[in-house]
Structures are given as C-alpha cells and as structure tokens.
Amino acid sequence: MQRVPPFKVEWDAHEYEHRSRSGDWFWVMGIITVAVVIVSIILGNVIFAILILEAVFALSLFINRPPETVHVVVDEKGITKDHMRYPYSTLHSFWLEEHITHPKLLLRSHKFFMPMIIIPLGSTDPDRLHRTLSRLLPEHQLSTPFTERFLEYLGF
C-alpha cells in the first residue's frame, strides 16, 4: 500500500434512526409472536417457540431505547467507529449511500462473519469523505443488505 500523509476526518452520528412506535405496532408484533409460538408448539418444535419468545423479549428491551451517538474517525491507519478499529488491510471496498434519508458509509470487509460494515454519515461532508477514502480503498457499488432493509421497513 502506498504511503499516505496524515489526515483525519471525524464526525458524530446516531447509531440508527429512531422511530416512535404506536401501541398498534406493539399489538401487531405481539399477535404475530403469539401466533408463531402457538404454531411451533403445535408442530412439536418447543425449542423454536422458546427462541422466538427470547428474541421478542430482547427486541422489546432494545426497541424503545434512544440511539446512542457514535464517534467515527477516518485516518491514515483505518476507520474507527467508537472503540472498534477497522484497518484498511481488512477492508475490501467502500460505497457511500447518499441518496437516502439517512446517508451511510458501507464497507465490505474480508472477514467472513462480518462482511458488511455500515456506518451512519451523520453531518459529515460526503464529498470530502469520498475523496479521502478513494485514495485508500477501491470504490465498488454496494447496497444495504436485504435483511436490514426489510427490518427497517417493518419498523425495527
């Protein structure tokens, strides 16, 4: 890799878009959960029913908490999101999703269990960030994974 002079681009952003949910949303999720649990018990899959109940309980704890603010730093050594550092040697490419309501930096990683890293852009200048990252990483068109888009659509 080529030697890059020192630089630093940093910003703060919310870790996710907070949505207020009505009581109807919680009723619908509860009805769906109970239906899935009952069907899984009828079909003899009690462990799956327990897993669904645990997952819904965990989501109910998580869903109402306000998003935390993450601090992101892009420098010559890598990209840091809060206390997690992603060196450029572990990253394959990047893409900036700017034309959505909450712009994001998408990073494709070489890691098997974490192939896509999504970082909210917050109030940073996307053009400056693009100029900076294009010197260090190749730019490939990436998109937000289907599961994340589906969960955002459902209101999670």
pLDDT digits (tens, 9 = 90+) for 83-125: 889 998 899 999 988 777 778 889 998 888 878 888 888 888 8
Q: Which pLDDT belongs to residue 156?
A: 67
The pair of three-digit structure tokens given for residue 123, joined into one six-digit string:
């109030």
Q: The pTM is what?
A: 0.70
pLDDT digits (tens, 9 = 90+) for 13-61: 887 777 777 888 889 889 999 999 999 999 999 999 999 999 998 888 8
The model's confidence at residue 5, banded by pLDDT at 50, 70 and 90, is low
Residue 72 has pLDDT above 80, yes or no: yes
Task: Decide which of 149 and 9 is more confident.
Answer: 9
Q: Which pLDDT belongs to residue 2?
A: 58
Alpha helices, DSSP H, located in the chain: 23-42, 46-63, 126-134, 146-154
Per-residue burial over 79-101, b = 16 or more CB atoms within 10 Å of its CB, e = otherwise: bbbeeeebebeebeebbbbeeee
Residues 6+ positions from 110 with CB-CB distance below 8 Å: 90, 91, 92
Within a 10 A sphere around the Cβ of 151, how many other Cβ atoms? 12
Q: How far apart are CA 18 and CA 68, in angstroms?
A: 10
Residue 137 has pLDDT above 70, yes or no: yes
93 to 59, 90, 115, 122, 142: CA distances (angstroms):
31, 10, 11, 20, 9
